[in-house]
């Protein structure tokens, strides 16, 4: 009869602080924001602030409201910082 290895339940590990960057975003809301390096930027996106293209190979940021990850958007780094300074 084969032996069954039963592993105990593994509790999910907290997200490392390096990956979790909670910031105050546009309108003063709580956002998660992560930088995307140029070598990891493989697709074309449209920045929601200036509506300009973010070309593949261009470093930028991805941000979303803290409690709504489905609203994740890719922003030019400068556009994100300008928009985040606007409160309300």
Residue 75 covered by a domain: yes
Residue 46 covered by a domain: no
Q: What is the mean pLDDT of residues 48-68?
A: 96
Q: What is the mean pLDDT of residues 36-57?
A: 97
Residue 47 covered by a domain: no
* Tally of structural domains, the chain: 1
Q: What is the pLDDT of residue 5?
A: 66
Residue 87 covered by a domain: yes
User: Closest by alpha carbon to 85, among 22, 25, 23, 21?
Assistant: 25
Angle formed at CA 41 by CA 36 and CA 42, multiple of 5 degrees: 155
Query: pLDDT at residue 75 above 90?
Result: yes
Residue 16 covered by a domain: no
Query: pLDDT at residue 31 above 80?
Result: yes
Q: What is the pLDDT of residue 37?
A: 96
Percent helix / strand / coil, the chain, rounded to 5 = 20, 25, 55
Q: What is the span of the domain harbouring residue 78?
A: 22-30+59-88
Query: What is the pTM for the complete model shown?
Result: 0.73
Q: What is the mean pLDDT of residues 2-13?
A: 62
């Amino acid at each position: 009869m084969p032996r069954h290895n039963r592993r105990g339940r593994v509790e999910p590990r907290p997200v490392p602080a390096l990956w979790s960057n909670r910031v105050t975003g546009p309108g003063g809301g709580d956002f998660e924001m992560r930088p995307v390096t140029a070598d990891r930027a493989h697709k074309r996106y449209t920045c929601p602030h200036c509506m300009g293209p973010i070309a593949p190979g261009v470093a930028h940021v991805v941000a979303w409201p803290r409690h709504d990850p489905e609203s994740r958007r890719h922003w030019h780094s400068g556009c994100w910082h300008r928009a985040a300074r606007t409160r309300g």
